Structure 1
Amino acid sequence: MVESRGIRKGNIWTKAEDRGFKHGYELKTFLESKNAYTLPDILEVSAEKHENTLCIGTRKLLSRKKIENNGKQLEKLELGEYTWKSYKEVQNEVIKVTSAVSSLGLQSKERVAIIAETRAEWLTSALGCLRYGLAVVTLYVNLSDTGLVHGINETEVETIFTSSDIMSRLVKILPRCDKVKNIIVFEDQLDGIGNAKVDQHVKVIPFQEFLTIGTEQDFVTNKPKENDTAIIMYTSGSTGNPKGVEITHKNVFYSFIAYTIQANLNSSDRYIAYLPLAHIMELVTEIALLSLGVTIAYSSPFTLTNNSPKIGKGTLGDARVAKPTAITAVPLILDRIIKTVSINVEKQGKLKAKIFKHAVQFKKDHEASLTSRALDIIIFNKVKAELGGSVKMMVVGGAPLSPQTHSMIRTMFGCTVQVGYGCTETSACVSSMDSDDMRTGHVGPPNAFVEVKLQDWEEGGYRITDTPRPRGEIVVGGPCVTSGYFKLPSETSVSFYVEDGTQWFRTGDIGEFDETGVLYVIDRKKDLVKLKHGEYVSLGNIESKIKTCSIVDNICVYADPCEEYTVAVILPSQSYLEKIAADNGLSDVSIDKLCVESQIKQIFLGKIQTHSKQCGLGKWDIPQKIHLTTLVWTPDNGMVTAALKLKRKDIYKEYEQEINAMYNKN
């Protein structure tokens, strides 16, 4: 019997007080004694304590070149070592940003926008603006032009922080954003701010120059208060226009404290940052790390590992150089890592592949044994090296993590894998796994200072009276719950409400609690579709199971309520597709033609259906027809969000003809 990790009182679950790391609670007490409740306060206090500790680092860009690959131009980078700034140096840069925004004539509680990829300047600019009492509007770089214009105009920002590679897009949309007066540009290491031309009424300032324009005479402090809006964070807009969530300093404070209670990290640790800072999970994580004195090495999904698409020949991936002890990941990234390792092992021959498979299974069954530790040295250290060789803690969020992927990553990397659950509306904070919990499939007990209750959803057949476990829509309460959606009172009233002085948010997710007080996210209202015969299928659940199949790189399942079966659009693993082709005498056929070859599709479908049954999917869940595509789904082409979640509406639109054909509607 696993000891209780969550406590139930009536229909509300909270965290057991004896769970988590003591230093997180001590940090909260320490910050409260310093009256440090806002984001810039956190860095200021931490800089006093850790002034000479390395704070943030950026890799040196030595050169870039374009290469041709199958008719496409790819950018390859030659990168050097990391250059670092101490906590004291970062705090000084934040003060310079505050002084500079003061010189622009901005007033307290006005808004500025940041539209840039994750990088050190993003964080220092945000903290400098917050220190002046401004609110920061965050917009994903991969939002459509319409989405960017919507966010800029709705928040009425006059000043935008961006990067040189986004400038060409901004120039195109600026005529539709007539309030914008200033653009501060984070320079490219080789090309500066480029040569994009803007209208004369818009002032363009390179970031390094911007840091010098403030003076002591200009400087006016407008210290924010804990209940002031810190961030207006726009969602990735999977349906319609993106919505801005209003997040206060207090919301973030309680969220990052909850993180520190769950994370066993200190100033000797190093974290690699590559997920979007415009996503609440990454922003809260980095604020938490600053509070603990952790070192942050900046990276990107394109340069993270040796196999990342922009890493040039002879250049190591960022993780190999930074050697992080902690990393945050989304399930899709982990699935890709597993598939990359599997492909590399199979290339070494059937015998080595068989040995590796047995080693994985043995370590799963005997994690603490001496033989297991020996296997780490002989086999798994080579796998660990892909992420630098030092990772001890991995936090996973953003989407459901399958038990198979969870177990495989923990086995290969020998680190704790703590799955968390949250959303922008709850400041990324709802629940997270304890570090000593070796089970899979759940998202842990409620976090500290969070209350979770379940509400009946009759239409879907989920009730809190269900046995053996209560089930229902997950509703979250506590100081991490935000105030609502910016300028959308009607939508706010639907999703948020106050009860007995507590702010609550209806997530739209379906959950259940087990007897130890941990939460399982088992469905989502929007993902449930009732088929013609009356059976419900959960699209997200089906996809999470099938994505663990080694021949699948990505998948989107579709269910027509007027039909009796599901279908799927699949991005196949190219290497496995080529292997199947070679085994069937089609090795000379192009990838595009293989995807429409009926023989190949039938083999593929058979493997997927077998895998689906092994994963416990039911008769109505398993796709009966598939369409194979070579189009990689990325945020840039609008098929997935910045957090790599499927944008179903856009995918359905792209493959409408193929989906209709699978249902014999053409």
Structure 2
Amino acid sequence: MTNLVSEVRDTVESTPDATAIAYHDTEQSYAEFWERTGQFAAALDERGVGADDRVGIYLPNLPQFVTAFYGTLRAGAIVVPMNPQYKAREISHLLADSGAKAVVTLAENADAVAAVQDDTDVETVISVGDDADDAGAATADAAGFESFLAADTLPVVERGDDDIAVQPYTSGTTGQPKGVLLSHDNLASNSMANATVMDPSLGPDDELVGTLPLFHIYGMSGVMNAAMFQGATYVPVTEWDPQVVFDLIEDRGITVMFGVPAMFNDMINQPDAADRDLSSLRFVNSGGSSLPMEVLETFEELFGVDLYEGYGLTETSPVTHANRPGARRKGSIGQPIDAVDAKIVDQHFDEMPRVERGPVDEDEADLDAVVGELVVAGPNVMQGYYGLPEANAAAFTEADGKRWFHTGDLGYWDEDDFFYVVDRKKHMIVTGGYNVYPREVEELLYEHEAIADAAVVGVDDERRGQTIKALIVPAAGYEPGVDVTAEEIKQYCLDALAEYKHPRIVEFREELPRTETGKVQKYELRSDD
């Protein structure tokens, strides 16, 4: 393989007239899509953006995201996907750290790019309207997407298997996002392996509903890439709305859906859920966070469709484990997918014993005897974190001739090679399928003049899995409820951070529990609930 996008070229050659992307009332054939990626690649080339240069894609799920993604790869450049909910404060680090030369942004976010452009290497800004027709999206500082496209196309620039294709960012325990280096082979191997989890494998007769955001590796690799590699139709959904998704499934006969537990929880709680017909779905997968058993069973009872749970990480492109037809165990993240090795190890990297058959009764079992850290190895595992040698050293262990990645998740395994995750090793909060690291929110809280001390924890939430709670010690002279209110703190966070990161619960305290070395005892804060 020379370039990830070559897999799409093969699809175009075999099914040029098939529908690649269906969005609202428009459909784009594989031949039309391929032409546009070539025009985007040529436009980048004309502006000096090529091999190993970074291109930020700051868009929701729109056809232009797909074009820009493959067009960037076609030019030999590297995609830096960015959450369109991010504010200027949040994209500043991503653009500066990656050294991106160009950004494709939603028109309404162009001001955020302009606000940080002087502090980055960004020279070219391409603006996209909020629908498929972006005429007029151009501004004084940004070219409209359609006008940006070149008249001619650029051939696929050859790249090596280990050359970087995508550099998504994932937060660390320090709260500073880390660039994850995913190669062409990392992504291609994982997308193709994920396509074979279905029975039969994903193919040209399938339509995939794009509910998962494309800036996230799960939607990008597990859904978009898998669809484009196999000649299926990708149906992007710009904003999550269960009623819109119900309509798409019924009207188009959608066959495959990937989502996070909060989405499935929303679907089963719609007033008309029992009247909806989802019989066209042949495969439904849940990932991103732990799937509550009640949600799984209610979904299956209401719609008569199996809901399979899987597991993955940004660093693993992303899928490592999956339940699948003929190999499924409720409560498990599934078995490792093709070419992926996984095991549970203790702190000395010795394998933990397997249980005979999971899941075990966690109230009765001696979990300490079987629980360890989940580690994985395979062609899907990232090349490393961008410019962070110490983080790379901590993330990997060389053993048995393999390079094992430490997931940071704790779990156990059984004799049938099914794996079960029981907890997070660190303090990461998973809300609605998004990872949120408390430190990032805490740093912002500390900047507020009315706050002397703060801690952020995740608390159980039926819909989101976890929700974010901020515990605040007011600064001297600020009386809670009078000089500073919970709603003020929530809005302060909303103004600076993506919506899913803001605390939905704010509690004022006189002091926070700390250890002798000054660390906040977060387990006490969580146990208070």
- Shorter-chain TM-score range: 0.7 to 0.9
Cα 1:503–1:652, aligned 2, differ >3 Å: closer, same or farther? farther
How far does residue 384 in structure 1 lie from its aligned partner after superposition? 3.1
Between the aligned partners of 2:339 and 2:386, the Cα distance in structure 1 is 25
Pairing partner for 2:373 from 451, 465, 473: 473
Between the aligned partners of 1:383 and 1:631, the Cα distance in structure 2 is 36
Question: Is 2:348 the partner of 1:464?
Answer: no
What residue number does 2:169 align with?
A: 234
How far does residue 390 in structure 1 lie from its aligned partner after superposition? 2.5
What residue number does 2:98 align with?
A: 155
Pairing partner for 2:128 from 183, 186, 189: 186
Amino acid at match of 2:344: L
Residue 410 of structure 2 contacts residue 424 of structure 2 at CA under 8 Å; is this kept in 1? Answer: yes
Question: Is 2:391 the partner of 1:491?
Answer: yes
3-state secondary structure, aligned to 1:305: helix
Between the aligned partners of 1:143 and 1:236, the Cα distance in structure 2 is 14
Residue 233 of structure 1 contacts residue 245 of structure 1 at CA under 8 Å; is this kept in 2? Answer: yes
Identical aligned residues as a percent = 24
Between the aligned partners of 1:163 and 1:556, the Cα distance in structure 2 is 28
What residue number does 1:275 align with?
A: 212
Residue 97 of structure 1 contacts residue 129 of structure 1 at CA under 8 Å; is this kept in 2? Answer: yes
Gaps of 5+ in 2: 357-368, 430-456, 473-484, 514-523
Amino acid at match of 2:16: E
3-state secondary structure, aligned to 1:52: coil
Amino acid at match of 2:332: H
How far does residue 298 in structure 1 lie from its aligned partner after superposition? 1.4
What residue number does 2:233 align with?
A: 295
Cα 1:559–1:221, aligned 2, differ >3 Å: closer, same or farther? closer
Residue 317 of structure 2 contacts residue 382 of structure 2 at CA under 8 Å; is this kept in 1? Answer: yes
Amino acid at match of 1:290: M
What residue number does 1:454 align with?
A: 344
Q: Provide, for residues 358-413 of structure 1, a one-character-per-residue CA deviation record: whole Å limited to 9, x for no partner.
A: xxxxxxxxxxxxxxxxxxxxxx4x1336xxx5222211110000111111112212
Question: Is 2:285 the partner of 1:383?
Answer: no
RMSD: 3.7
Residue 131 of structure 1 contacts residue 224 of structure 1 at CA under 8 Å; is this kept in 2? Answer: no
Residue 102 of structure 1 contacts residue 220 of structure 1 at CA under 8 Å; is this kept in 2? Answer: no
Q: Provide, for residues 343-363 of structure 1, a one-character-per-residue CA deviation record: whole Å limited to 9, x for no partner.
A: x68xxxxxxxxxxxxxxxxxx
How far does residue 436 in structure 1 lie from its aligned partner after superposition? 3.3
Cα 1:146–1:422, aligned 2, differ >3 Å: closer, same or farther? same
Question: Is 2:169 the partner of 1:169?
Answer: no
Question: Is 2:237 the partner of 1:337?
Answer: no
Cα 1:452–1:41, aligned 2, differ >3 Å: closer, same or farther? same
Report the structure number with the largest CA radius of gyration: 1
What residue number does 1:324 align with?
A: 254
Amino acid at match of 2:64: E
What residue number does 2:516 align with?
A: none
Cα 1:528–1:83, aligned 2, differ >3 Å: closer, same or farther? closer
What residue number does 1:412 align with?
A: 302
Residue 273 of structure 1 contacts residue 296 of structure 1 at CA under 8 Å; is this kept in 2? Answer: yes
3-state secondary structure, aligned to 2:243: coil
Residue 107 of structure 2 contacts residue 128 of structure 2 at CA under 8 Å; is this kept in 1? Answer: yes
Question: Is 2:495 the partner of 1:651?
Answer: no
Question: Is 2:198 the partner of 1:263?
Answer: yes
Higher helix share: 1
The TM-score, its normalising length taken from structure 1, stands at 0.62
Pairing partner for 1:104 from 36, 42, 47: 47
Cα 1:447–1:192, aligned 2, differ >3 Å: closer, same or farther? same
Pairing partner for 2:462 from 541, 547, 553: 547
Amino acid at match of 1:158: K
Cα 1:184–1:237, aligned 2, differ >3 Å: closer, same or farther? farther
Between the aligned partners of 1:395 and 1:494, the Cα distance in structure 2 is 31
Pairing partner for 1:138 from 81, 95, 108: 81
Residue 62 of structure 2 contacts residue 237 of structure 2 at CA under 8 Å; is this kept in 1? Answer: yes
Amino acid at match of 2:12: A
Residue 115 of structure 1 contacts residue 161 of structure 1 at CA under 8 Å; is this kept in 2? Answer: yes
Question: Is 2:301 the partner of 1:441?
Answer: no
Between the aligned partners of 1:336 and 1:97, the Cα distance in structure 2 is 37
Cα 1:405–1:424, aligned 2, differ >3 Å: closer, same or farther? same
3-state secondary structure, aligned to 2:331: coil
Cα 1:520–1:170, aligned 2, differ >3 Å: closer, same or farther? same
What residue number does 1:120 align with?
A: 63
How far does residue 433 in structure 1 lie from its aligned partner after superposition? 0.3
Cα 1:634–1:317, aligned 2, differ >3 Å: closer, same or farther? farther
Between the aligned partners of 1:632 and 1:434, the Cα distance in structure 2 is 42
3-state secondary structure, aligned to 2:193: helix
